[in-house]
Each structure stands twice: as structure tokens, then as C-alpha cells.
Structure 1
């Protein structure tokens, strides 16, 4: 986890354009050994941005047919706040099954994990990793990588917001990557011991990150800091 995240952070620090971010999405696909990685966001005015590894023909088909209206991933994740495994979504309708078949023919994986992101000023985004694999293989992969992918989703969304100079979205506070990691894990329900172990740091160092983030956010306590970070779109839950 640590090496992959450090590689991601290093790449994002050097990203100066949406084209750079698109390149990072392709690198993430290979880094996390999945078939596709997709990031898609919509701001409150309806303006959309996407960086993904799907083939162009499928993207064009998806847009032309307005498949977002029936896509169980989009519809299901919009109602949720936590990571969503595609197998837990409702694919029972004929339209959804036909859509799934067409997506599979286009190379979209039969397994997927999507992270809903609610950013500042009404922004909504989805970060997804998907693959073609068996249920058992995907369950093992998802269990091992879900924490990592949640943090990746945050970093990608934050970089997209920073690059999107044409909107009124701005960061309300500047948290360091480690402060973001710490609050994100606590927001996911990790104990301090679990969070420090996941980040390979001592609990004392973890407390330093918590207090630093709390000060920057003007929070009264840790719970308040997590809540404010979520409200400002600084972390993903």
C-alpha cells in the first residue's frame, strides 16, 4: 500500500494539466492490476469531466445512448456514501441486463468497486476500478485494496479540483497527504491503532497528524475534524 500511494502522490504532484491526470489514470490501471480505472465528476452546474481507460467507441456509445440514466453503478452510487461493490447493485431489470451485456462486449469488467465522492459546492464524482475475474478472486482483491482505493479516489478528485480552474471549487484548507490519510482512515472507522499500523507509523506520530489537521480545520476535536474534512471535500468516505 505504502509504495503504491507514494508513487501516486509523486505523480500527482507533477501533474499540471488534465492530460497529465489522464496519464496517471492509465498508470493506476497498471499499478493496481485491473482492467480499467475510471474517474468521472459533475459539478453543481452540470459541467462534467472524465479521465478513464475505456476505449473511445464505448465512451461514445455510452454518451450517445445516455446510459447514465440506467447504469446501475451510477444510479446506485449516487444514493450511497461508502464504496460499492458492483455485485451488490440491482442488475435485475431487462435494461440493466442488456446494458451489462453490451458493456461486457466493450471490454468492461464484470467485477467493479466504485467510490462515491461528494466534494465541495455540490460536486459529485465516482472513482472506479473494474476487472474481468471470478467472484472469489475479486472478493479477495477488493478486501485487500479497498482502503488503498478510497485514498486514491480522494487524491485523484483533489487534483482534478485543483486543475479545474474554471469552477468556483476551492480548497478550504491545505492538508498534507499524511493528514489526509489519517483523517480518511479514521472516517472509515479505523481505530487509532489500526490507522497507525496501516500507515506504518507510531500512534504518537498519528496523533501529531491529527492535531495538525484539527488546527488547520479549526476543529474542536478529532470527530469534528473528520466531519469538517468531509464537508469540505478534503477526504472521501
Structure 2
């Protein structure tokens, strides 16, 4: 789940890190409830920071799974989008939360973080200290009502404040 939450694009489970003891135990327990050895999860983000996953899974070999995901990727993304639209219809009068606008430097920092730069790389790219970068990130987090930096990036993306 964490591996999918940290991404904005569909995730083939083969690309996730299953090496930790906790991850292996989780996967083993899930298998006892019928979870397959192959999976494909699509993160879905709502206009107010909501998060969900649309996931398909099965038990098959890698070659068969690769063929399935390659030939059905577009349809799976469309299905996930459709489910998200239907879920949002449960609260038809709810409008996206209004947020304060981000400063140009906050936008720059959030954008570089969103495309995968480390804090050190962002600071170097913007020609600022990491301390100054922390100030920009904390300010953006506050304005976006985010719990952490990843959440702030997700909210900025979902609200169209940054584009990657």
C-alpha cells in the first residue's frame, strides 16, 4: 500500500520492494485470503486529497501477467477513473477545498520533489540551502493542509497547482 501511495502512476507489484520481513509476512497472510502472486494497482486521488487504489490480481506466471497488463493497461486505467467518478457522485455538492496559492519558489520546490529529486538536488537546482528549502516545503505543507511532504506533493498535483 505504501509503495502505491507514494506513486502517481499505475504500479505492477513486481516493481515493489518485497524484501522486508514485514512485507513478506503481509503478502503471505494476504495469500491465505486468496490474493494472487501478480498484481497491478492504480492510485486514485480525489479533489480533496482522497486516496484509493483500484487493483486487479491473479496467480499466473510472469510472462502471462506481462501480456495481460500490456494489452489491458489502458482499459484498467479507464475503469479506475470511472470508479473514482462514481465514488465522487456520492457527495455531488461537495466542491474541492479552496487552498491558498503557493509562491513561485514553493511551486518550484514541489514540482522538483514531484518528479523525484532529492531535497539536496532540489536545493542545488534552486541555488538555495537545504534549510531554506525546508522553509518552502513547510510553508507549502501548511497552505495545502498536508500531513507530510508526499501528501503536499499529492495535494498540489491533484489541485493543479503543479504540473509534472
TM-score range, shorter chain: 0.5 to 0.7
Give the one of 114, 125, 139 matched to 2:41.
Answer: 114
State the partner residue of 2:4: 77
Q: Structure 2 vs 1, CA of residues 163 and 99 (structure 1 numbering), >3 Å: closer, same or farther?
A: same
- How far apart, CA to CA, are the structure 2 residues paired with 1:133 and 1:93? 23
2:49–2:158 Cα contact (<8 Å) kept: no
State the partner residue of 1:143: 70
State the partner residue of 1:168: 94
Where do 5+ consecutive residues of structure 1 fail to align?
1-73, 171-229
Map 1:152-191 → 2, pairs under 5 A: 152-164=79-91, 168-169=94-95
Q: Structure 2 vs 1, CA of residues 160 and 97 (structure 1 numbering), >3 Å: closer, same or farther?
A: same
State the partner residue of 2:61: 134
Give the one of 6, 9, 17 matched to 1:90.
Answer: 17
- How far apart, CA to CA, are the structure 2 residues paired with 1:232 and 1:164? 18
Size of the aligned set, in residue pairs, is: 100
Q: CA deviation at 1:106?
A: 1.1
Equivalent residue of 2:94, what SS?
A: coil
Map 1:1-237 → 2, pairs under 5 A: 74-164=1-91, 168-169=94-95, 231=158
Moved >2 Å (runs of 4+)? 167-170, 230-233
1:119–1:232 Cα contact (<8 Å) kept: no
**RMSD of aligned alpha carbons:** 2.0
Where do 5+ consecutive residues of structure 2 fail to align?
97-156
Equivalent residue of 1:129, what SS?
A: strand
